Structure 1
């Protein structure tokens, strides 16, 4: 039996982004449904029992569950309809009433009709298949996030002698967590010449415990039949493994912390344009996707450094959704924003002349000193000096109304990093 529900907005995903966006919309007097496939509100925060959250958003240091708890309290204090253990399978983006199709063991088949949809599905981890490590398929190979859940939620020790591939933040945090629990972390192997995680995590999780970090190295073979017995690690020269200098490290567990992929299967089904640079939706200055009435925020849009920034972006997105519902689409002409030299990407993908805009971008390589230059057809809009630029740390640049007033619609705005 199919049940139809009507709302002003439907938010898909009940992690930090989804909860913040739902609250921001609801607090502006609109009816909101918050839908998530998991059993509890909170998303990935519930398994992140380490501290370091909330310093920007709540002005105090919290653990992941504490941060989630504060967000959940806010959600429960508002008249938001919550649908847990409910899986969204399709989005039909009709202009008059967008439809979200979902299934739930508790509610059966659901059909949500809404004037706006917020995508906040988060991201997933890359796995062994994504990076192509040769060898057999013994037990003991798992992603860092799965190991985190096994240890922090289910109470299982994933291994005793561990090698971690990738220096992403989850892998670094798990290196410390496993060490505290009694495992021996043999080393962390990073394919890039610089770490992928935040500097504070490199210091607190590796250096404080004397865990070796091998930069410009790769795991080139996994040994073991039933269980991982050892891995072969090779240094890289111009990205190519140097087999003659390979060495073997004995271990019984291999954790993969090799990047995150925004969960955009639903976005693609809805016909939303996906950026090849972020693997997230292309959005304008209102965080609206290429499909009218569908907005995106959080890690489904691009992978953030801190959950605090996710919440801030989602709050902004929720305000934009409410404005769209109350006043309709912003029809002003916009200018495309492009990433130039030394930048991987820039968001949003379009900005509006004469409006305050916050640009977020990520560098391709580490630089101690650099200059961010934003220009349009050779005319310089902004030039800012930057220190300690790192690929793992987002660059944020706010442009005032005065600075964007001279921008011409439909003429590309180029952001470059001079080193």
Structure 2
């Protein structure tokens, strides 16, 4: 078995992995990216629509263009890249500076990589029909939206003609538009919640502009068909309960599922990393370090982001913090973060009171003219007005030393939406 040594190993070669690795390389540490696909870029390579890069590069790019910007920087750096290589096991039990990764590759065989630090950047995967327990027959023609996106954009296949999309996540909305462009008839988008799960701009650009109906507070209660999908049954909901007498059928030959994303954390659990029960991503401190010393997390493996620009920003920060950890630097003090009323979660779980901290949070409610309230030890320290909030749109804020004045070692910052 071939053995390699690096100061840092980044697992995942998408936007998060490349951004983190570039910062570690800039700091002068040896770094490797391990990517299971045969190319860098991750999911961006099948996202050929535009809308990427407005924050990161101040221009509108497609997914492959965004990925190529980072891949070019990686190519010019000293970062070692292992493509087509899958990490099968992580052993972090040999001390804080001795982590073993076992990798498998058709080109390199079985590799053992010993690294002082690890950055988790594996991204997320789609929930499938089994995860959300949609009843009915099991005919051909049921796909996740991401698989349909790959079939159309990369493989060159159109999966069907009469399409219904279950769930209003961003990938599903984008595929509603894409399927319309390639000549399919998108008959409906069916959403179980009383509000859309995707960004408002995608609702407008992908549904309204193409006159695609959106059924809110409706659950898919059956899929019909033998060899091929023939239709679905949709049952409206009132006050969270199904109303069977109002059920109706939509005939179709293809069903696309856009029912949420799950951070890809099987390797994280193997390494002993604790996961957040709400996000299903690692619990991290102010440095984006997990409970396992020297293992950091960023991007969609940490929590699902709205924009890849924010993924890259967070990953750059994780890379800088990994480099700081390798230099022996640690935050002297940290303040815990609590999700208060109407806040589903807040990341990271701790803040460094000596610097500015970027905090990401998601609302549990839809509301106009909302107020974000920050409370330090039950004392209101700041209120921020929000014109509109909804669960599908991430809220970001900056918390700095002035906000955390007077903290103690037992202090907690609570974030609440009112």
Give the shorter-chain TM-score range. Answer: over 0.9
Task: For 1:220-239, list aligned pairs within 5 A.
Answer: 220-239=221-240
CA-to-aligned-CA distance 1:61-92 (integer Å, 9 cap, x gap): 00011111111101101011000110001111
Task: Report how far residue 28 of structure 1 moved.
Answer: 1.1
Supply the distance in 2 between the matched residues of 1:322 and 1:8 (Cα, whole angstroms): 9
The residue aligned with 1:22 is: 21
Q: Identify the residue that residue 335 of structure 2 maps to in structure 1.
A: 335
TM-score, structure 1 normalization: 0.98
CA distance in 1, matches of 2:355, 2:77: 31
Q: When the two structures are aligned, how many residues end up with a matched partner?
A: 416
1:36-57 per-residue CA deviation (whole Å, 9 max, x = no partner) reads 1001111000000000000110
Alignment of 1:63 with 2:62, yes or no, is yes
1:366-415 alpha-carbon deviations (Å, 9 max, x no partner): 11111111112221222111111121111111012221232222332211
Residue equivalent to 2:75:
76
Tell me the residue number matched to 1:107: 108
Shift of 1:237: 1.6
8 Å contact from structure 2 (residues 36, 85) kept in 1:
yes
Aligned partner of residue 18 in structure 1, secondary structure: helix
In 1, distance between residues paired with 2:417 and 2:210?
A: 35
Alpha-carbon distance in 2 for matches of 1:254, 1:199: 23
SS of residue in 2 equivalent to 1:402: coil
The residue correspondences of 1:311-326 to structure 2 (distance < 5 A) are 311-326=312-327
Partner of 1:401, secondary structure, is coil
User: For each residue in 1:256-301, what CA deviation from the matched residue of structure 2 results, as whole angstroms up to 9, or x when unmatched?
Assistant: 0000000000111111110011110000010000110000000000
Aligned to 2:36: 37
- 1:373 and 1:34 map into 2 onto residues whose CA distance is 40
Mapped contact 1:36–1:86 kept (Cα < 8 A): yes
Aligned to 2:361: 361
Q: Report the counterpart of residue 294 of structure 1 in structure 2.
A: 295
Counterpart of 1:281 in structure 2 is 282
Contact 2:53–2:309 (8 Å) recurs in 1: yes
CA distance, structure 1, for counterparts of residue 406 and residue 117 of structure 2: 31
Q: How does 1:243-258 map to 2 (within 5 A)?
A: 243-258=244-259
Deviation (angstroms), 1:195: 0.6
Kept in 2, the 8 Å contact 1:85–1:105? The answer is yes
Q: Partner of 1:310 in structure 2?
A: 311
Query: How many angstroms apart in 1 are the aligned matches of 2:291 and 2:403?
Result: 26
Partner Cα distance (2:79, 2:357) in 1: 30
Does structure 2 conserve the Cα–Cα contact (< 8 Å) formed by 1:92 and 1:98? yes
Residues 145, 172 of structure 2: 8 Å contact kept:
yes
Query: Hey, what does 2:399 align to over in structure 1?
Result: 399
User: 1:354, 1:405 within 8 Å by CA — same for their partners in 2?
Assistant: no
Structure 1 match to 2:347: 347
For residue 327 of structure 1, give the secondary structure of its aligned residue in structure 2: coil
* Partner Cα separation in structure 2 for residue 96 and residue 191 of structure 1: 47
Gaps of 5+ in 2: none
Aligned position for 2:182: 181
Paired with 1:300 and 1:198, the residues of 2 have a C-alpha distance of 20
For the 8 Å contact 1:353–1:409, the answer to whether it is kept is no
Structure 1's unaligned 5+ residue stretches are none
Q: Name the structure 2 match of 1:143.
A: 144
Distance (Å, rounded) in 2 between the aligned partners of 1:358 and 1:285: 9
- Moved segments of 4+, more than 4 Å: none
Q: Tell me, what secondary structure is at the counterpart of 2:382? A: strand
Distance in 2 (alpha carbons) for counterparts of 1:259 and 1:276: 16
